[in-house]
Amino acid sequence: MTTVVNKKRGANIVLLYPPLRNILKAATPNYIDKNRGYIPPMGLLYLQAAIEKSRHKSVFLDANLEGWDHNEAASKALSYGPDLVGLQATTFSLKDAYLVSLAIKRQNPDVYVIIGGPHPTIYPKLTASLEAVDFAFAGEGEFGLVQLLDILYEPQLWHTVQGLAYKKNGMVHFNHVKELIEDLDSVPFPARRSSNYTRYTSILSKRNPITLMITSRGCPFNCVFCNRMKRKYRCHSAKYTLNEIEDILSLGIKEIFIHDDTFTILTDRVESICQGIIERKYDIIWEARTRVDCVNENLLALMRRAGCYCLSFGVESGSDKVLKYMRKDIDIDRIRNVFAWCKREGIKTLADFMFGNLHEEREDVRKTLDLVKQIAPDFVQYSICSPYPDTPLYQIGLESGVIPYDIWQEFAQNPLMDIKSPVWTENFSVEELEKITAAAYRRFYLKPAFVMKHLLEANSYNQLKAMARAAIGMLRNK
C-alpha cells in the first residue's frame, strides 16, 4: 500500500471486541462463566478515549455484547471504512480474535489488523507473525496506538513506536517496551459514551447497568500463579478517581466494580476516595478486589460508609503450607479476622479459592473446605489451578515435567489448534480436580438456606433466570 494518511483527515480505526465463542476453558466451570452477564472491555474503551483526543477517527464495537458471529463482526467493522481494525485478546480469547481477523482479511485484505491486550503483551512477535495480523501491540497502548495511526502508511517510521510488533520485508520486528505510563492521570477517562453502556450487567449486581473502573495498574505482590508481578504499580490520584465517578453518575450508572488487581494497596489514597464520595454525596454503590493484608477495621468501616457493599478476596487456600508455596504471604488467622470484620460492617464477601495448587494434597483440600465453612463468605469462586503463560508456576511446570511441553507458545503460533488449558496435575488428575470443584460448588451454593436467601434478594427476572441456569449447571456439572 502506498496511501499516505491525510494530515488533516487522519486515519480511521474500528476498535472491535470479538464474539467470545471459543474461549479456552480455564479455571472456572462453564456453569459459572456462562451466567456472569456482560462487562465492558475497558482496554478498548481507554484506547477509544485516547483516539478521540487525537486527529484520528475511531468507532468502538462490542461484537460479544451484540451477539454477532465472527463474519458479522468483520462486516460491521468494515462498513465504517477503516484503515485499521484493532482487536483485543487474552490468551483465552485469542482464537476468537484471530477468527475475526481472518474474516476481515477475506472480506478486505487491504485493511490493516492489529491485536493488543494481555496475549500480545506476552507473545508480541508470534502474534504479529500470524497470517491475518499486520501488527501486535505489547503493553499499554493509549499513546502508542495514536502514534502508530500518525505514521500508519509510513513503514519506515514503524520502528519508532514502542511496544509495536510488525511485519516488514518478510520479517517480523518488535520495538521493545521501554516505559510504562507513569502519570496515569494523563490518560483520559475510558470512552463509556461510545459504547452501549446501559446493557452491561452482572448476575451479582444490585443496580444494573454497571460499569468497571480501573484506578491502578500493576501489582507489587509475588504470587506464583500470576504474571503481573513484572508490572510496576501505579495509580490514579484520588481527585481523578472521584471525577471519573462523577462522570459515571452523569450517565445514570449507579454501580461500579473497581477492577484493580488490589484496590486498597495505598490506604491513604483509598481513604481520600471514600471521604470524597461521602462529602460529595454521590449516590453510588461499589465493589472491589483486594487482599486480606491490605485492609484494616477502620478502612473497612469507612469504605462501607462510602458505598462499598462487596469485596472480593483472593484467599486461594485454607492451608498455610500451600499459601507459602503460592507466595501469597498471608496467614489463616488474618483471613478469619478480615471476613469477620466485613460481616460486622455489612460488607458482602466473595472468596476466591483454587484446587490442585503447587504441592497441594488431599489434606490441604480438606483445610480449604473447612476454612470456607469457618469464614462463611457470601459467595465463593472455586477454580482449578491452571498455569497461565509467563508465570513462575508455568515455568516450574515446564522444568519439573508437570507440563510436558510449552503448550502456550504452540497455541500462540497456531490459535486455531484444538487445545485445553493445562492443569496442575502434580498430585491430582484432571478428573479428580473437576469432581472436587463441582462438589465444592454444590456444597456451598445448593444449600436450601442459601438458595432461598438469594432468590428473595434477586433484583430482576433475568437475574433469577441466570441463577437458575447456574444452579442447573452445578447439578449437571456442566
Fold of 12-174: Rossmann fold (3.40.50)
Tell me the pLDDT tens digit for each residue of 423-457: 999 999 999 999 999 999 999 988 877 766 666 66
State residue 463's pLDDT score: 53
- Res 404 pLDDT > 80: yes
Band of pLDDT at residue 459, cut at 50, 70 and 90: low
Tell me the pLDDT tens digit for each residue of 299-313: 999 999 999 999 999
State residue 2's pLDDT score: 40
Query: What mean pLDDT comes out for the span 310-335?
Result: 97
State residue 269's pLDDT score: 98
Of 72-86, 421-435, 462-476, the one with minimum mean pLDDT is: 462-476
- Res 471 pLDDT > 80: no
State residue 79's pLDDT score: 98
Q: Which CATH class is domain 204-386+423-445?
A: alpha beta
- Res 180 pLDDT > 60: yes
- Res 279 pLDDT > 90: yes
State residue 465's pLDDT score: 52
- Res 35 pLDDT > 50: no
Band of pLDDT at residue 387, cut at 50, 70 and 90: very high
Query: What mean pLDDT comes out for the span 110-134?
Result: 97
Averaged confidence pLDDT in the chain: 91
State residue 276's pLDDT score: 98
Three-state SS string across the chain, please?
CCCCCCCCCCCEEEEEECCCCCCCCCCCCHHHHCCCEECCCHHHHHHHHHHHCCCCEEEEEEHHHHCCCHHHHHHHHHCCCCCEEEEECCCCCHHHHHHHHHHHHHHCCCCEEEEECHHHHHCHHHHHCCCCCCEEECCCCCCHHHHHHHCCCCHHHHHHCCCEEEEECCEEEECCCCCCCCCHHHCCCCCHHHCCHHHCEECCCCCCCCEEECCEECCCCCCCCCCHHHCCCEECCHHHHHHHHHHHHHCCCCEEEECCCCCCCCHHHHHHHHHHHHHHCCCCEEEEEECHHHCCHHHHHHHHHCCEEEEEEEEECCCHHHHHHCCCCCCHHHHHHHHHHHHHHCCEEEEEEEECCCCCCHHHHHHHHHHHHHHCCCEEEEEECCCCCCCHHHHHHHHHCCCCCCHHHHHHHCCCCCCCCCCCCCCCCHHHHHHHHHHHHHHHHCCHHHHHHHHHHCCCHHHHHHHHHHHHHHHHCC
State residue 458's pLDDT score: 61
State residue 129's pLDDT score: 98
Band of pLDDT at residue 3, cut at 50, 70 and 90: very low
pTM of the model: 0.91
The percentage of the chain sitting over the pLDDT mark of 90, rounded to a whole number, equals 84
- The ranges assigned to domains in the chain are 12-174, 204-386+423-445
- Res 5 pLDDT > 80: no
